[in-house]
Amino acid sequence: MSSILTNNGATTALATLKSINSSIEGTQYQISTGKKVHSAADNAASWAISKAMEADVAGFEKISESLSLGQSTVSVARMGAETVTELLTEVKGKIVAAQEENVDRDKIQADISSLREQIGSIVAAASFNGANLLQNTDQTAGSGTVNVLASLDRSTTGVSASDIAISKQDLGTQAQVVSNSGGTFAASGATATLNAGQSATVDMSSMTVAAGDAFDLQIFGTDTDNSSFTQADLRTTAATANTQAQMATSDLAYVARDGDTAADVAKALQSKWESYASDNSIDASTLSISASGSGLSISSTVTDGTDTIAVTVSTLSAAAGNTVGGGLENLADIDVTTAAGVDSALTEIEGLIQTSIDAAASFGSAQGRLETQSEFVDKLSGSLKSGIGALVDTDMEEASAKLKALQVQQQLAVQSLSMANSAPQQLLSLFR
Report the C-alpha gap between 56 and 51 in whole angstroms. 9
Any domain includes 189: yes
103 inside domain: yes
Mark whether 101 and 201 lie in a shared domain. no
Claim to verify: residue 52 and residue 136 sit in the same structural domain: yes
Q: Is the residue at 152 inside a domain?
A: yes
pLDDT of residue 231: 94
Which of 242, 232, 244, 327 has its CA nearest to residue 280?
232
160 and 50 within one domain: yes
Whether 343 and 310 map to the same domain: the answer is no
Which of 271, 295, 324 terminates a domain? The answer is 324
Q: CA end-to-end span of the chain, whole Å?
A: 20
Q: Do 345 and 301 belong together in one domain?
A: no
What pLDDT digit, counting tens, does each position of 83-105 carry? Answer: 999 999 999 999 999 988 888 99
Of 150, 174, 358, 135, the closest CA to residue 258 belongs to 135
Q: Domain holding 133: CATH number?
A: 1.20.1330.10
Residue at a domain's end among 324, 347, 369: 324
Among 304, 324, 344, where does a domain finish? 324
| 373 lies in the same domain as 255 | no
The 10 Å Cβ neighbour count of residue 327 is 27
Q: How many residues does the chain have?
A: 432
- The span from the CA of 176 to the CA of 309, in Å, is 27
Predicted confidence at residue 1, as pLDDT, reads: 63
| Whether 155 and 207 share a structural domain | no
- 196 and 318 both lie in a single domain: yes
Is 16 inside a domain boundary? Answer: no
Residues 102-151: tens digit of each pLDDT? 889 999 999 999 999 999 999 999 999 889 999 998 988 888 999 998 88
Burial class (CB in 10 A: 0-12, 13-18, 19+), 80: buried
Domain containing residue 159: 35-172+333-393
Q: Does residue 419 form part of some domain?
A: no
Do 112 and 238 reside in the same domain of the chain?
no
Read off the DSSP letter of residue 336: -
Domain assignment present for residue 412? The answer is no
Q: What are phi and psi of 180, to 5 degrees?
A: -95, 5
347 Cβ partners below 8 Å, 6+ apart? 274, 275, 278
Residues of the chain with pLDDT under 70: 1-2, 4, 432
Q: Which value, to the nearest 10 degrees, does the dihedral of the CA atoms of residues 271, 266, 123, 120 take? A: -40
- Alpha-carbon distance of 282 to 276, in angstroms, equals 8
Whether the Cβ atoms of residue 116 and residue 173 lie closer than 8 Å to each other: yes
- Number of compact structural domains in the chain: 2
In a domain, 430, yes or no: no
Q: Are residues 285 and 341 in the same domain?
A: no
Residue 422 within a domain: no
